[in-house]
Chain A
Amino acid sequence: MKKHITRTILCFAALTVMAVILFSISLTSGSSSLRAIDAFRILTGNQQNDAAQRIIFDIRMPRALSAMLLGGALSVSGFLLQSFFRNPIAGPFVLGISSGAKLCVAWIMIASLQHGFVLHSAAMIAAAFCGALICMLTILLFAGKVQNMSQLIISGVMIGYICSALTDFAVTFADDANIVNLHNWSRGSFAGADWMDVRDMAVLVLAGLAGAIWMSKPISAYQLGETYAANMGVRIRAFRLALILLSSLLSACVTAFAGPVSFVGIAVPHLVKSMLRTAKPLLVIPAAFLGGGVFCMGCDLLARTLFTPQELSVSTVTAVFGAPVVIWVMLRRERERSAS
């Protein structure tokens, strides 16, 4: 018991320290010729430099914050989906939910740009939420029909491909002027967030996080299976609906602001569970949020600094680190199955 508590405290402390360190590095490094030491001085208020100040406060800081928030949202959403489908490799990207959100956002973006006005972020989020919900419901339809969990994942991946194809189709016929922007976004990137965006996403993501923590008790009951959960007094229909809405909201929020970001939703919850050595939602959800933030800030940092001035898409980096985790999870499950 005591060991568990120590471990939990250590994990949260480690994640917080990592978040702080990565945040600081994010502010002080980048493609601009700004030296780290100068950036540090500006942050502490010991140096005045308008341009540099703008780079740090208006570009790097919102970007780091959005990576933190959206990364957290993705991994919490992944954890919710894994609990919902009782499938360890479920996640917003794998199940095609991100791609569905992406499709809706792309279409609405192009439509609005053609009519010459720029979309408010609320409209983007609403579109992404609709797309995510539509895909989620399609997946649920499949889930009712297929018993096998790998079939569910396959149908999710296929839905993702269809949505991506339709998105590409839209991008191809979009105005030249918008393509660059749209193309960047559709590959996944935390760039371009301003303070207004950060405020909007903070409200939504933190609300989603609070909702997830609020539901941690029924989620823990659900881990034993639906029948047992019902026997413990969980109102199953309401619970499932809440879980669908929450995970769709979180992944829609990410897609609206940063496009599809792969593998965070699967990899981070598993890493966090291994760290904590427990699957208790009350602990895993906040830890997954922190962990997802750290993971995405780290990946974003690599994406923009590794080959400066060229910037990688963040999905490229998250896939490199996330995909091996998925393979590891599957191998571990296979080992458990053969052991029992």
Chain B
Amino acid sequence: MNPVLHTRELSVGYQHKIVVSGLTFHANAGEILTLIGPNGAGKSTVLKTIAAQLPPISGTIALCGDSLVGLSPHEVATRISLLLTGKPAAERMTCFDVAATGRYPYTGRFGLLSSKDREIVHDALCMVEAESLADTDFRCISDGQRQIVMLARAIAQQPRILLLDEPTSYLDISHKLRILTRLRTLAKERQIAVIQSLHELDLAQKFSDSVLCIHAQRAERCGTPEEIFSGDYISTLYGISTGKYDPLYGTAEASPVTGKPRIFVIGGNGSGIPVYRKLHRAGIPFAAGILHENDVDCPAAHALGAKVITERAFEPISDATYQEAETCLRQCEAVYCSLPAFGTGNARLAVLRDFAEKTHLLIQDLQTWLRSEMESTCNTHSSLTDH
């Protein structure tokens, strides 16, 4: 594939302060390249440099084979368009007017639109499904719609490369998905190279063809989302010390409540997750089990629980695992079962449940148990202060 943009040993920054160095990457037509990295890592500086708004400190940027530094602002404008986060102030402009500013590099001295220009702007608005907004005042639409119209503006500029600096910030989830889906279609249909920075790792993972990680003033890694989002790399990249990031699901979890488990949760098949969260919020250390390693409850249990008892995937629960669970359960103050029924794979959980019932540890109503727990802790606190 022919890369539209190619950088070699690029260093970016301001005057003599280098923000990021060692950037060697390329962006292909029809693909989405996403920049990720912690706050202040320099993603925006990289984008600004590629947009020719900041001179590179060293290294080269080649744009469709030409050196970016040698291009005139007009030539850059016909090849690169920008979408920034935040609200541009546009006084008394309709959405059509705003989108039409994308035609700037193509219009004459006074910026009058030809009928072909109007058609291109209209097409761009249609592409993002914003044609109904054309005559609406740009200040009277929501943040999400504004970002969509700005995307239409960028499309109307007919670039080879589309640069987006956190295009999804401040948007609700539906608009985030809408923008990113449009970007993907756009990249494929018009063979545009999309380069964006994103904070939403889950979305970066799902909507990128390649990912560039910027960390500690360096381009630390570059690769496919599958290569980047594996193992503990993301936690290292962002220096996550409190909580956990699950690269498989793209979810972030808070740190577990540690300590001796006070309640044992018999769960599985997703039924455990809301219970884990409730206990985690209440600050009660819990044990979870017996979960198969491929159970959907497993990641959350590992992230939030003080102890998790697991069985290998696709295997029936072994004696050893059962014993371990029973021992753990015995030491807890209560047992809660979130499973309404059991199957052949986890039949032993029914045995565990019955054991808990026999030993009067099983509680039926988690809410009541939690409330009484809360009250007793409050009482202890107040009695302590009374003395």
Chain A positions near chain B (C-beta within 8 angstroms): 86, 88, 214, 216-217, 220-221, 223-225, 227-228, 230-235, 273, 277-280, 282, 336, 340
- How many Å lie between the Cα of A201 and that of B374 in the bound state? 83
* Any A CB within 8 A of the CB of B104: yes
Which of B73, B90, B102, B105 neighbours the largest number of chain A CB atoms within 10 Å of its CB?
B73
B76 engages A233 (CB within 8 Å): yes
Q: Are B107 and A232 in contact (CB under 8 A)?
A: no
* A340 in contact with B88 given A216-B110, A227-B82, A282-B111 (CB within 8 Å): no
Contact yes or no, A233 B73, CB < 8 A = yes
Interface check B116, CB cutoff 8 A: no
Complex contacts, B140 vs chain A, CB 8 Å: 340
Can you report 5 A-B residue pairs in the complex whose CB atoms are below 8 A from each other? A217-B110, A220-B101, A223-B91, A230-B73, A232-B101
A340 touches B107 (CB 8 A): no
* A217–B84 touching, CB < 8 Å: no
Q: Which chain B residues lie closer than 8 Å to A224 at the CB level?
A: 88, 90, 98, 101
Knowing A227-B82, A232-B101, A234-B73 touch, does A217 contact B111 (C-beta < 8 A)?
yes
Whether A273 lies near B88 (C-beta < 8 A) is no
Q: Is the CB of A231 within 8 A of B89?
A: no
CB-CB < 8 A to B97: which residues of A? 278, 280
Report chain A residues within 8 Å CB of B139.
336, 340
B81 partner, pick from A223, A231, A234, A282, beta carbons under 8 A: A231
Cα separation A314 to B51 with both chains bound (whole Å): 49
| A216-B110, A224-B98 known; A231 vs B53 contact (CB < 8 Å) | yes
Residues of B within 8 A of A231 (CB): 51, 53, 76-77, 80-82, 157
Contacts of B105 in A (CB 8 A): 232-233
Contacts of B216 in A (CB 8 A): none
A277 neighbours in B (Cβ, 8 Å): 92
B93 within 8 A of A: yes
Complex CA gap A231/B105 in Å reads: 9
B381 at the A/B interface (Cβ < 8 Å)? no
Q: Which residues on the A side are within 8 Å of B73 (C-beta)?
A: 230, 233-235
Q: How far is the CA of A279 from the CA of B92 in the complex (A)?
A: 6
- Set of chain A residues within 8 Å of B387, measured between Cβ atoms: none
Are B101 and A228 touching (Cβ within 8 A)?
yes
> Whole-angstrom distance from the CB of B303 to the nearest CB of chain A?
39
CB distance from B387 to the nearest CB of A (A): 53
A106 to B292, CA, bound (A): 90
Further 14 A-B residue pairs, CB within 8 A, beyond A217-B104, A223-B89, A340-B140? A216-B111, A217-B109, A220-B111, A221-B104, A225-B88, A227-B82, A228-B82, A228-B84, A228-B88, A231-B76, A232-B157, A278-B93, A278-B97, A279-B91
**Which B residues lie at the A interface, using CB under 8 A?**
51, 53, 72-74, 76-78, 80-82, 84, 88-93, 97-98, 101-102, 104-105, 107, 109-112, 139-140, 157
A323 to B53, CA, bound (A): 39
Q: In the bound complex, do residue A230 and residue B53 qualify as a contact, i.e. CB atoms below 8 Å apart?
A: yes
With a cutoff of 8 Å between Cβ atoms, the chain A residues found around residue B93 in the complex are: 223, 278-279
With both beta carbons as reference points, the residue of chain A lying nearest to B102 in the complex is identified as A232
Q: B92 is contacted by which of A214, A233, A273 (Cβ under 8 Å)?
A: A273
- A336: chain B residues within 8 A (beta carbon): 139
CA distance A279 to B98 in the complex (A): 12
B72 shortest CB reach to chain A, Å: 8
A274 shortest CB reach to chain B, Å: 9
Distance in angstroms between the alpha carbons of A232 and B90 in the assembled complex: 16
Report the minimum CB–CB distance from A194 to chain B (whole Å).
36
Known: A220-B101, A277-B92, A279-B93. Is A227-B84 also a contact (CB below 8 A)? yes
Least CB distance from B149 to A in Å reads 11
A225 CA to B109 CA in the complex, in Å?
A: 20
Shortest Cβ distance from A320 into chain B, in angstroms? 26
A183 to B47, CA, bound (A): 56
Asked if A273 meets B111 with Cβ closer than 8 Å, knowing A224-B101, A230-B73, A232-B104, the reply is no
**Cα–Cα, bound, A279→B105 (Å):** 20
Query: Chain A residues near B77 (CB, 8 Å)?
Result: 231-233
Please tell me if the beta carbons of A273 and B91 are within 8 angstroms of each other in the complex. yes
Q: State the CA gap A224–B139 with chains docked (Å).
A: 12
Contacts of B76 in A (CB 8 A): 231, 233
Selected from B51, B72, B92, B111, the residue in CB contact (under 8 A) with A278 is B92
B51 to chain A, nearest CB (A): 6
- Tell me the minimal C-beta distance from A231 to chain B in angstroms: 4
Q: Name the A residues within 8 Å of B111 (CB-CB).
A: 216-217, 220, 282
Q: A227-B84, A228-B84 are in contact. Are A221 and B91 (CB under 8 A)?
A: no
Point out the residues of chain B lying under 8 angstroms from A282, CB to CB.
110-112
Establish whether residues B101 and A221, one from each chain, have CB atoms under 8 Å apart when the complex forms.
yes
Q: Could you tell me the distance between the alpha carbons of A188 and B72 in the complex, rounded to whole angstroms?
A: 46
Tell me the nearest residue of chain A to B138, going by C-beta: A224
Q: In the complex the two chains form, what is the Cα distance from A232 to B111 in whole Å?
A: 12
B104 to chain A, nearest CB (A): 4
Shortest Cβ distance from B53 into A: residue: A230
How far does the alpha carbon of A108 sit from the alpha carbon of B139 in the complex, in Å?
48
The 4 tightest CB contacts between A and B, nearest first, are A233-B77, A217-B111, A232-B104, A279-B92
Quote the shortest CB–CB distance from B386 to chain A (angstroms). 50
A99 to B51, CA, bound (A): 40
User: How far in angstroms is the closest Cβ of chain B from A191?
Assistant: 36
Q: How far is the CB of A336 from chain B (nearest CB, A)?
A: 6
Q: How far is the CB of A219 from chain B (nearest CB, A)?
A: 10
Asked if A233 and B82 sit within 8 Å, CB to CB, the answer is no
CA distance A280 to B104 in the complex (A): 13
- Closest residue of chain B to A232 (Cβ to Cβ) is B104
List the A side residues contacting B84 at CB < 8 Å. 227-228
Could you tell me the distance between the alpha carbons of A225 and B84 in the complex, rounded to whole angstroms?
11
**Least CB separation from B135: chain A residue:** A1
The answer on a CB contact under 8 Å between A233 and B104 is yes
Taking CB atoms, residues of chain A closer than 8 Å to B82 are 227-228, 231
Nearest chain-A residue to B74 (Cβ)? Answer: A233
Q: Smallest CB-CB separation from A88: which chain B residue?
A: B91
